[in-house]
A and B are shown apart, each in its own frame.
Chain A
Amino acid sequence: MTVAAGLGYALIALGPAFSLFAGVVARKPFLVLTLLSSTLFWLMSLIVLSGIWRGFLPIKSGTWWAYAILIITSVALQEGTRLVFWRLYKKMEEMLDAFADRISKPRLSLTDKMLISFAGGLGHGVAHAVFFCLSLLTPAFGRATFYVERCSKMPFFLASALIALGFLVIHTFSMIIAFNAYDEKKKCDQIVVPVVHLAAAVMMLVNLAPGGCLIGTPLLLVMAVLTLQYCWRVACRRLTEHQHRQLNN
């Protein structure tokens, strides 16, 4: 429905990401590079996934359990990618610290580490929004709109933009929680992140039912808000502890 609608959908999916980028990530060039590399990682995991599943597509519409298996394998692979990303980040952190020592500058502070994990999460989220929503948005710039059969109350583009927004928030902030958990070795947080991801993805199965997208999309946004709130708690706790430790020293 014209350029205005297309732009509107694109902004629904990526507006918050854009402002986060402009406000936080663009200030430090290293974060931009982190964002680009985590986007690349996510894309590579998606390509591997599609390689695995290519032989089984197209899935017949009646078999919802096939979709369930698809989702579970996808989430498992992406969580594996997160672990690999964490390992690479640890190596990079060592190199950066050694470099900082060599040029007599202070090492990475806690804020820096959180910023790096934030940029990484934002990269994942942006990759998700771009590949699942933005790349399919081209027809929306034309003259008409498109409705999927099972979701006759919301245009397809609107539904996918809202879902992309939800997942963007979830990816971004669960990366901060995850890196924090790996760093502090807190088992419960380490479990929370994959569980949240899986729950959000499984929730999308509701969309398979006729009219289900009216339930699935708001639920996903609620999930995103919950992730955001949890991340806020984790970050605050960590930063206050860090500050107290510094005051005591």
Chain B
Amino acid sequence: MADAAAAVPGDPRDGPTVLDSLGEDITRIVYPVTTCMLLVVLLVSLLSSPSAPSPLAASIAATTGGGGVSGGGDDIPTALVTALTFVVAVTAATFLLALLFYLRCTPCLRAYLGFSALSVLLVLGGQVALLLLSRLRLPLDAVSFALLLPNAAGALALAALAPASVPIALHQAALVAIAVLTAFWFTLLPEWTTWALLVAMAIYDLAAVLLPGGPLRVLLRLAIERNEEIPALVYEARPVDPRHGRNWRLWREGGQPGASSTTVEVIGEVLGRNLDCNSGYSSSPQVHEVATSAGDANNSRPRATLAAALSSADSSIAQAEEVPVLQEHRVAVAEMRVPLIQPHPERYGEEEEDEDGIGLSSSGAIKLGLGDFIFYSVLVGRAAMYDYMTVYACYLAIIAGLGITLLLLAFFRKALPALPVSITLGVVFYVLTRTLLEEFVVQCSTNLLMF
């Protein structure tokens, strides 16, 4: 047994195997999404009243006669109308954004971005803080609160908007904070409205990116042509493997006719992006430059879609020649950020902007737009209002959807929306859990019959 114990740790003969760093990209985007969802669930369970009692809670609390709060004043037609209004507003806003981007009004877009981030943190953050203070009975006087809140909001807004000047952890924390606050605000909507909104946004995302006349597709094309950066709220996963020295990655050349990547290579590229490309990437390294584009966010919530737009610019060709010569390959993998603007519904005066979308940044890490964070968390938060079983099921569904989207991205290599797969899976699992699973599990568990 001592031999086996000695042989177990690491198999010194083999050295670090391929398993060591595989899939690190995906993990680095799964952890923040998980954290955001966890925070929203915590906030929801602390601050909201349940929409409908789950069977177990109802059976346990039967004697107290409590529970049974109906989802008050909320029906399907209203929900559909609200969702439709939202989608129409979002479409209009995206076209407006495309127009502004076309006219190169970058400073005003940038200013707007700052204003909306600050307002989210100040107003929503203040609201949530007040609710928490009253719920948890924390002693804090008004003067200190009035001092702390604007300072904290200002600092976080600055951290969110200027990633170059703050530590990356703070920048990421600020983005997650903005997403959490916005998502929590969305869960305050009535139940049917929330679900209708989620489904409508998923369908809209799909249509806007893939249909020829879709606003996001137009914006995408503009951004590719311009090769410009857009200042936006986008979560960038930490650059991986600093010991490897670079965060570039190699993509197969998109323009090659008949270059069909096999499943192995595609998955390998998706999962193993951060393996050291110098360690003998034997086949001729095809350098691929993806045009960087960024959409500016406007007076609403921009949402970018999942995109890995490929195009080859002149510089990439030049670099391709240099590649065999240079020690380090520089692959600028650009990210496609297509903001999708969603103004708030009329009754709420807030405006903010975040960005959606999965892309690959110039530093090689995965970027996911903040709108995706928000809608995932809204789904999970709404599930939390029913019962925790739905939360776990929806969480797994969303993460599975995220993984599938990444794989699809690697396969198709063009603009893909990040919301539809996850939201669909999430809604399906929510419905299945609520109708089928819960009854079954409660039946078995209360009889202490598990398998």
What residues make up the interface of A, taking CB atoms closer than 8 Å to B? 28-33, 36-37, 39-40, 43, 46-47, 49-51, 53-54, 57-59, 67, 70-71, 74-75, 78, 95-96, 98-100, 102-112, 115-116, 128, 130-136, 138-139, 146, 148, 150-151, 156, 159-160, 163-164, 167, 197, 200-201, 204-205, 207-208, 213, 216, 235-236, 239-240, 242-243, 246
Among B21, B57, B396, residue most surrounded by chain A Cβ atoms (within 10 Å): B396
Q: Are B387 and A138 in contact (CB under 8 A)?
A: yes
Chain B residue contacts of A138, Cβ below 8 A: 56-57, 387-388
Q: State whether B30 touches A28 (Cβ < 8 A).
A: no
Q: B275 near A43 (CB under 8 angstroms)?
A: no
Contact of A105 among B8, B17, B439 (CB under 8 A): B17
B95 contacts A by Cβ under 8 Å:
no
Chain B residue at minimum C-beta to C-beta distance from A26: B27
Q: Is the CB of B18 within 8 A of A54?
A: no
Partner of B267, one of A58, A95, A103: A95
Cβ 8 A contact of B19, one of A49, A115, A139, A200: A115
The closest CB in chain B to the CB of A54 belongs to B436
Residues of B within 8 A of A139 (CB): 56-57, 60-61
Known pairs A100-B17, A163-B448; A135 contacts B387 (CB<8 A): yes
Binary flags per residue of B419-451, CB closer than 8 Å to A gives 1, else 0: 000000000010011011101111111111111
**Which B positions have Cβ atoms within 8 angstroms of A?**
1, 3-4, 7-8, 10-11, 13-24, 26-28, 30, 56-57, 60-61, 263-265, 267-268, 271-272, 275, 279-283, 387-389, 392-393, 396-397, 399-400, 403, 429, 432-433, 435-437, 439-451
Contacts of A32 in B (CB 8 A): 23, 27, 30
CB pair B451–A197 under 8 Å, yes or no, is: yes
Report B-chain residues with C-beta under 8 Å of the C-beta of A130: 392
Q: Which of these, A43, A53, A167, contacts B396 with CB under 8 Å? A: A43
Nearest-neighbour CB distance to chain B for A72, whole angstroms, equals 9
Are A57 and B447 neighbours in the complex by a CB distance under 8 Å?
A: no
* B interface secondary structure, majority: helix
Given contacts A104-B280, A242-B7, list 13 more A-B pairs with CB under 8 A. Answer: A28-B22, A30-B19, A39-B396, A47-B429, A98-B264, A99-B268, A99-B272, A103-B279, A105-B17, A135-B441, A136-B442, A164-B450, A201-B450
Residues of A within 8 A of B392 (CB): 43, 130-131, 134-135
CB <8 Å contact, B18 and A205: no
Given that A96-B18, A103-B275 are contacting pairs, would A204 and B451 also be in contact in the complex, using a CB cutoff of 8 Å? Answer: yes
State whether A71 touches B451 (Cβ < 8 A). Answer: yes
CB atoms of A243 and B7 under 8 A apart: yes
Contact partners of B442 in chain A: CB under 8 A: 136
Min distance, Cβ B48 to any Cβ of chain A, angstroms? 14
B4 touches A246 (CB 8 A): no
